[in-house]
Amino acid sequence: FRLKKWKSSVSTQAKMPTCNFVAEKYKSYPYEHMQKIREQNISPSLRMYYKKPLLLHQGHMQWLFDYEGRRYLDLFAGIVTVSVGHCHPKVTVAAQKQLARLWHTTNIYMHPSIHEYAEKLTSFLPDPLKVVYLTNSGSEANDLAMFMARLYTRNFDIISLRGAYHGGSPYTLGLTSVGLYKHSVANGFGCSTVRFLLIFLIIWVTVYLNISTVNISSILKVLCVCHANDQYIEQFKDTLNTSVPKTIAGFIAEPIQGVNGAVQYPRNFLKEAYQLVRERGGICISDEVQTGFGRTGSHFWGFETHGVVPDIVTLAKGIGNGFPMAAVVTTKDIASSLAQNLHFNTFGGSPLACVVGAAVLDAIEEDGLQKNSEEVGTYMLLELAKLRDKFEVVGDVRGKGLMIGVEMVTDKDSRHPLPGEEINQIWEDCKDMGVLIGRGGLYSQTFRIKPPMCINKKDVDFTVEVLNTALQKHMERAAAK
Ligand SMILES: Cc1ncc(COP(=O)(O)O)c(C=O)c1O
Ligand SMILES: *[C@@H]1O[C@H](CO)[C@@H](O)[C@H](O)[C@H]1NC(C)=O
Ligand SMILES: *[C@@H]1O[C@H](CO)[C@@H](O)[C@H](O)[C@H]1NC(C)=O
Ligand SMILES: *[C@@H]1O[C@H](CO)[C@@H](O)[C@H](O)[C@H]1NC(C)=O
């Protein structure tokens, strides 16, 4: 355990990149009054980050401003949702214009923007994924995808992966496989999960780093990737052999697990899994709620990084840059299964949502955000990998593009998660230095970095400096014990 190095080495505070935007003055209730309302009138199930939760009132691109005028670099983007930047000027103008023109008609009439948007959105997807059903949230989209899989195949069972998050609605909660979100009510009828027996071993030999960009020995990579894939696919077969009937409705997976802390799979795993599912009469659903819209950098959709074409994709979060909207995109055949009878959604595909969705797609293209995710994300992964090499407690740095996980451990040999209170302090210190980071993983042991895709290398340098300082402080606390 290398503690001696950390004697009072904390550098002076990192300098936040400049920002010309001037936030308005905060004019609402005092902080304490907000807290009181929170306690009395807002559901206690909505838990907040940080010992003293933030009170934010304005945003501009990658920046957030609090009630006291403090500026923060937002590396969590309202949970991977602000894709092109807070209040992106073009998206905001498009929304404002539509707001004055027409908000809502519902789907019993035609309005132009749903048609324009459906055409534009599907132009980003390969054949035969050309039919769109718009909803309002990711949970709703996954509910609908499950429903369609069952209607279309006339089978019932759906498989998901351990550690997955697909939503909190009663239907999707059966697919979600993170203990924190489970409640003691009947759920998950017809849902089975695939276990990753070797998940820790696999993470720790940094196997799948082949599909990320962090540099490790290529020999190790080859050895581990082959071995890991066998292990993963054997687990998949085990579920097929033991937990489901001969024919199934489908399989759903995120291309990179989000809530679980940017967990990746070995190359070819999804490809082989898709084949096994289709042999059983099932269809394959790619949950692109976090990985879609260019975030992985190399590709516009996460499934493309695995060389597969799903039968259904579900989209939410980044699709609307924070506007509540989501989508299920599928084939003509599968979509028609839902037309056997009526299925209705009042708000889905509203004129306002469709205009926002189209403006977001334009902004991704015009601002070159997929390319930026690749360049800035790769740079960030490589810079963070230096912290992994420097600090014993940084167990793993992984991800792709601007979908990054930094896993904290007690030490690299045992790979045990760093105790919660120690991670919390590092995380609070980052916040106090102006950097907002997310959390994920079974033990909340992984820092999640999934910023608006407009961040730049200066923001990365600042982040790495801040994290470095927070980690040095941590080492000093540990040495003083
Ligand atoms: C991968 C994934 N799918 C689905 C959902 C559910 O989306 P929503 O919160 O919009 O219902 C989430 C939300 O975090 C998610 O991360
Ligand atoms: C990866 O490591 C090799 C060998 O150590 C080195 O030559 C190469 O420049 C590294 N690549 C990156 C992107 O750091
Ligand atoms: C690693 O990734 C590259 C493409 O990024 C691929 O060509 C190579 O075959 C992969 N290696 C293994 C062991 O899968
Ligand atoms: C699943 O069943 C098949 C056919 O009986 C068998 O060949 C295979 O070894 C089994 N795999 C697992 C992981 O149980």
- Per-residue pLDDT for 1 more than 50? no
Q: Look at ligand 3, atom 6, and give the residue with the nearest C-alpha.
A: 210
Task: Give me the residues paired with residue 407 across strands.
Answer: 396, 446
Q: What is the pLDDT of residue 15?
A: 92
Q: How many CA atoms lie within 13 A of 321 on its CB side?
A: 32
Two tokens, residue 211: 């599909």
234 touches ligand 4 (CB under 6 Å): yes
d(CA 185, CA 25): 45
For residue 12, is pLDDT > 60? no
CA distance 258 to 262: 5
The residues near 109 (Cβ < 8 Å, ≥ 6 apart) are none
Element (H, E) at 269: helix 269-279
Q: pLDDT at residue 231 above 80?
A: no
User: Does 155 have pLDDT greater than 90?
Assistant: yes
Which ligand is closest to the CA of 400, given by its number?
A: 3
Number of helices (H), then strands (E), belonging to the chain: the values are 13, 15
| Pocket (CB within 6 angstroms of ligand 1) | 79, 137-139, 142, 165-167, 254, 258-259, 287, 289-290, 316
Cβ atoms of 439 and 446 within 8 Å: the answer is yes
Count of CB atoms within 10 A of residue 204's CB?
Answer: 17
- Residue 465: pLDDT over 80: yes
> How many angstroms does the Cα of residue 153 sit away from the middle of ligand 1?
24
pLDDT band at 415 (very low <50, low <70, confident <90, very high): confident
Please choose, from the candidates 161, 76, 129, the residue with its C-alpha nearest in 3D space to the C-alpha of residue 450.
76
**C-alpha–C-alpha distance, residues 415 and 419, integer Å:** 12
DSSP assignment string, 333-360: HHHHHGGGS----SSTT-HHHHHHHHHH
Structure tokens at 132: 């769109």
Asked whether residue 269 carries a pLDDT value surpassing 70, the answer given is: yes
Q: SS3 for 418?
A: coil
Atom of ligand 4 nearest to the CA of 240: 1
Place of tokens 């019932």: 156
Q: How far is the CA of 230 from the centre of ligand 4 (A)?
A: 13
CB atoms within 10 A of CB 308: 19
Q: Which residues are CB-contacts of 100 (< 8 A; sequence separation ≥ 6)?
A: none
Statement: residue 3 has pLDDT above 50: no
Give the pLDDT confidence score for residue 4 in this predicted structure: 43
Is residue 439 within 8 Å of residue 448, measured between CB atoms?
yes
The three-class DSSP label of residue 285 is strand
CA distance 426 to 470: 5
pLDDT bracket for residue 217 (50, 70, 90): very low
- Cα(215) to centroid(ligand 2), Å: 6
Could you write out the DSSP letters of every residue in 209-265?
GGGS-----HHHHHHHHHHHHHHHHHHHHHHHHHTS-SS-SEEEE-SSBTTTTSB--
User: Among all ligands shown, which has an atom nearest to the Cα of 385?
Assistant: 2
Q: State how far the Cα of 180 lies from the Cα of 182, in Å rounded to an integer.
A: 6
User: Which residues have a Cβ under 8 Å from the Cβ of 87 and sit 6 or more positions away?
Assistant: 59, 60, 61
- pLDDT for 5: 46
More confident: 196 or 363: 363
| Listed residue (261, 201, 190) closest to 231, CA to CA | 201
Q: Which of 139, 178, 303, 403 to mutate to test the pocket of ligand 1 (most atoms within 8 A of CB)?
A: 139
- Between residues 253 and 231, the one the model is more confident about: 253
Q: How far is the CA of 240 from the centre of ligand 4 (A)?
A: 9
This model's pTM is above 0.85: yes
Mutation probe of ligand 3 site: the residue of 207, 210, 219, 230 with most atoms within 8 A of C-beta? 210
Q: If you average pLDDT over each of 168-182, 210-224, 261-275, 458-472, which comes out highest?
A: 458-472
Predicted confidence at residue 225, as pLDDT, reads 55
- Phi, psi dihedral angles at 454 (to 5 degrees): -95, 5
Relative to the alpha carbon of 263, which ligand is closest? Answer: 1
The confidence band for 396, taking pLDDT boundaries of 50, 70 and 90, is confident
Contact 433, 14 (CB under 8 A): yes
Q: Ligand 4: distance of its center to the CA of 206 in Å?
A: 28
Rounded CA separation 163/141 (Å): 19
Q: Could you check whether the bond before residue 128 is cis, i.e. omega within 30 degrees of 0?
A: yes
Mutate to test the pocket of ligand 3, among 207, 213, 215, 267 (most ligand atoms within 8 A of CB): 267
398 pLDDT higher than 90: no
What confidence category does residue 197 fall into, taking pLDDT thresholds of 50, 70 and 90?
low
- Centre of ligand 3 from the C-alpha of residue 463, in Å: 30
Confidence of residue 414 (pLDDT cuts 50, 70, 90): confident
DSSP string of 147-186? HHHHHHHS---EEEETT----SSTTGGGT---GGG--SSS
| Token pair belonging to 137 | 């949230």
d(CA 283, CA 435): 41
From 140, 146, 165, mutation site for ligand 1 pocket: most ligand atoms within 8 A of C-beta: 165
Q: Which two structure tokens, joined as six digits, stand for 57?
A: 């009132």
Question: pLDDT value at position 304?
Answer: 96
Q: Determine the pLDDT at residue 51.
A: 96
Least confident of 206-215, 229-238, 263-272, 350-359: 206-215
Supply the residue whose CA is at minimum distance from atom 13 of ligand 3.
222
Helix, strand or coil for residue 444?
coil
Residue 343: HSE in the Cβ half-sphere, 13 Å Cα cutoff: 17
Expressed in angstroms and rounded, the spacing between residue 295 Cα and the centre of ligand 3 is 20
**Ligand 3 centroid from CA 13, angstroms:** 40
Query: How far is ligand 1, taken at its centre, from the CA of residue 306, in Å?
Result: 21
Pocket (CB within 6 angstroms of ligand 3): 210, 221-222, 225, 267
> Taking all residues of the chain, what is their mean pLDDT, rounded to a whole number?
91
In percent, how much of the chain has pLDDT > 90? 81
Domains parsed from the chain with CATH numbers? 4-88+368-480 (3.90.1150.10), 89-366 (3.40.640.10)
Residue 399 phi/psi, 5-degree rounding, is 130, -170
User: What are the structure tokens assigned to 74, written together?
Assistant: 């937002």
Tokens of residue 142, six digits: 């996954």
Query: How far is the centre of ligand 3, averaged over its atoms, from the C-alpha of 307 (Å)?
Result: 12
Radius of gyration of the CA atoms of the chain, in A: 22
